[in-house]
């Protein structure tokens, strides 16, 4: 019996945009806006858009560093 992966599954390499948005506690539209501006890394696989599992943490680290520098 196979179980569906959850947002906390550390074995995932790629996340859907919705999963990345939930990890960042933001909306799907905001997440797509971050992807569109290049603030949040993503890749295309065929017609799918995926976010590397470490990209949300990297985005947060950059935001925190920018805030400390300000």
SS (H, E, C) 1-63: CCCCCCCCCCCCCEEEHHHHHHHHCCCHHHHHHHHHHCCCCCEEECCEEEEECCHHHHHHHHH
The pLDDT of residue 6 is above 80 = no
pLDDT band at 70 (very low <50, low <70, confident <90, very high): confident
pLDDT band at 5 (very low <50, low <70, confident <90, very high): low
Helix (H, G, I), strand (E, B), or coil: what is residue 68?
Answer: helix
Predicted pLDDT at 12: 84
Angle at CA of residue 49, ends 20 and 16, nearest 5°: 30
pTM listed for this prediction? 0.83
pLDDT band at 51 (very low <50, low <70, confident <90, very high): very high
Predicted pLDDT at 11: 77
């Amino acid at each position: 019996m196979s179980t569906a992966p959850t947002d906390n599954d550390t074995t995932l390499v790629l996340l859907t945009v919705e999963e990345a948005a939930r990890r960042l506690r933001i909306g799907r539209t905001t997440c797509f806006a971050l992807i569109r501006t290049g603030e949040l890394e993503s890749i295309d696989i065929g017609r799918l858009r995926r976010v590397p599992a470490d990209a949300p943490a990297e985005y947060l680290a950059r935001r925190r560093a920018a805030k400390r520098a300000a």
